[in-house]
Amino acid sequence: MLAASMSQDASPHNARPTGPVLVAGGAGYIGSHTVRLLERSRVPVTVLDNLSTGHRSAVSGPFIEADLGDREALARAFADVKPAAVIHFAAKCYVGESVEDPAIYYRENVSYTWNLLEAMRAAGCRDIVFSSTCATYGSPTELPITESHPQNPINPYGRTKLHMEHMMQDYARAYGLRYAALRYFNAAGASPDGDLGEIHQPETHLIPLILQVALGSRPEILVFGDDYPTRDGTCVRDYVHVDDLADAHLRALARLQAGAESFACNLGTGQGFTVSEVIDAARSVTGHAIPAHVTERRAGDPAELVSGGSLARELLGWVPKRPGLEEIVSDAWRFLRQDAD
Ligand code: UDP
């Protein structure tokens, strides 16, 4: 993994990426926020999504409904769009599901990514920014987790994401692909104007579930374990605002397009909150009581995941603009209430 030297090839941190950009999975949660930021930055963008989990209504610009498993459709999309670069969000992302049915994860995360890289190679398109995850690190052996932490994923989801990183490294070495692997911590929140946000079916993520309790569509929030070695016994996570993630994608792409080497970096705020603290923040934001009930630990949950280091700041000039937990929760709350109306 190469981290480019700032003196030689870093882009100015406010540089704008050059389009057209093809965004695979751009109808999903993080993808749709990124597409909107690209559009607002006047970068031409086309979304390609099979709508298996994404939402057509989240995309207002050019859209191709296609599956990354369909290599002919991919070739047609590259011929039509002639992308200067790709941003790749399309993937399966549930840890539990990946344990129960790993075949889907190896097919859609690994082999579909290979299809995408082959389509890029055939079209002579060489820059790609893609969603990786802190799950590639596995159970942390040291905290906070920096990019040099060993990558030993403990579930098929994390393993397939690590395979994607390895594939990119090999393609970079052999074929001149240039990639940015962005290892997200816990994506959360919604666009502050309330029209884009997180809708998963089924919902498994903590903040939307808590807010559904506040909204009255769930009776209580189950807290998965309160006997972890953390300050209040519940798990600690680093929640990062989805608009801050979107911003990092534009910066990463601009950096590659300015000639930087491939790189991988964490995207987190460096600040961890326990499950109980998130519930308290939601009580304060919503004014609702939000009944909580402690239950057993969820399999595969490390006690604490918090991003460390400053690589994203050094390489991308990226500093989260909305790092506060209350801001994240209140943006998610605004979206959920608007969506429920
Ligand atoms: N969690 C919880 N109850 C829930 C959902 C999640 O206590 O109903 C906890 C989960 O154990 C983890 C944290 O909330 O410690 C964040 O979980 P989430 O599924 O949102 O994201 P993950 O960390 O799995 O990516």
CATH number of the structural domain spanning residue 292 = 3.90.25.10
Same domain, 229 and 140: no
Arithmetic mean of pLDDT, 247-257:
98
Residue 55, in any domain of the structure: yes
- Beta carbons within 8 Å of 250's beta carbon, 6+ residues apart: 16, 17, 34, 37, 38, 41, 43
pLDDT band of residue 68 (cuts 50, 70, 90) is: very high
Ligand 1 near 278 CB (within 6 A): no
Per-residue pLDDT at 195: 84
Ligand 1 near 204 CB (within 6 A): yes
Decide if 197 contacts 146 (C-beta within 8 A).
no
Same domain, 169 and 70: yes
How far is ligand 1, taken at its centre, from the CA of residue 51, in Å?
A: 25
DSSP summary character for residue 142: S
Domain count, the chain: 2
Arithmetic mean of pLDDT, 218-243:
97
Per-residue pLDDT at 14: 73
Nearest CA to ligand 1 atom 25: 186
* Domain enclosing residue 296, as ranges: 206-237+270-340
By residue count, the chain amounts to 341
Average pLDDT, the chain: 93
Same domain, 220 and 309: yes
Residue 169, in any domain of the structure: yes
Same domain, 156 and 211: no
Looking at the chain, the whole-number percentage of residues with pLDDT higher than 70 is: 96
Residue 69, in any domain of the structure: yes
pLDDT band of residue 199 (cuts 50, 70, 90) is: confident
Whether 157 is a known active-site residue: answer yes
Q: What is the torsional sign of CA 188, 191, 193, 195?
A: negative
Q: How far out from the chain centre does Cα 31 lie?
A: 8
Decide if 298 contacts 225 (C-beta within 8 A).
yes
Taking only the tens place, the pLDDT of each residue in 276-328 is 999 999 999 999 999 999 999 988 889 999 999 899 999 999 999 998 999 99
Nearest CA to ligand 1 atom 3: 223
Which residues in 101-121 are b (16+ Cβ under 10 Å) and which e?
A: ebeebbebbbebbebbbebbe
- What is the distance between the alpha carbons of residues 273 and 269, in angstroms, rounded to a whole number? 11
Ligand 1 near 224 CB (within 6 A): yes
Nearest CA to ligand 1 atom 4: 206
Taking only the tens place, the pLDDT of each residue in 103-124 is 999 999 999 999 999 999 999 9
Q: Which of 157, 179, 184, 239 is catalytic?
A: 157
Which residues in 263-284 are b (16+ Cβ under 10 Å) and which e?
A: bbbbbbbbbbbbbbbbbbbbbe
Decide if 325 contacts 331 (C-beta within 8 A).
no
Same domain, 108 and 221: no
Q: Tell which one of 94, 133, 161, 224 to mutate to probe ligand 1, the residue whose CB is within 8 A of the most ligand atoms.
A: 224
How far is ligand 1, taken at its centre, from the CA of residue 125, in Å?
A: 37
Q: pTM (2 decimals)?
A: 0.95
Ligand 1 near 294 CB (within 6 A): no
Q: Could you identify the atom of ligand 1 that is nearest to the CA of residue 235?
A: 15
How far is ligand 1, taken at its centre, from the CA of residue 298, in Å?
A: 8
Same domain, 124 and 225: no
Same domain, 72 and 158: yes
Ligand 1 near 205 CB (within 6 A): yes
Nearest CA to ligand 1 atom 15: 235
Same domain, 55 and 105: yes
Residue 107, in any domain of the structure: yes
As a whole number of angstroms, the longest Cα–Cα distance in the chain is 57
Tokens in use for 99?
């344990």
Same domain, 133 and 224: no
Per-residue pLDDT at 105: 97
Taking only the tens place, the pLDDT of each residue in 80-108 is 999 999 999 999 998 889 999 999 999 99
Same domain, 297 and 170: no
Q: How far out from the chain centre does Cα 126 lie?
A: 21
pLDDT band of residue 13 (cuts 50, 70, 90) is: confident
Q: What angle do CA 170, 174, 176 make, to 5 degrees?
A: 100
Helices and strands, number each (H, E), in the chain: 12, 14
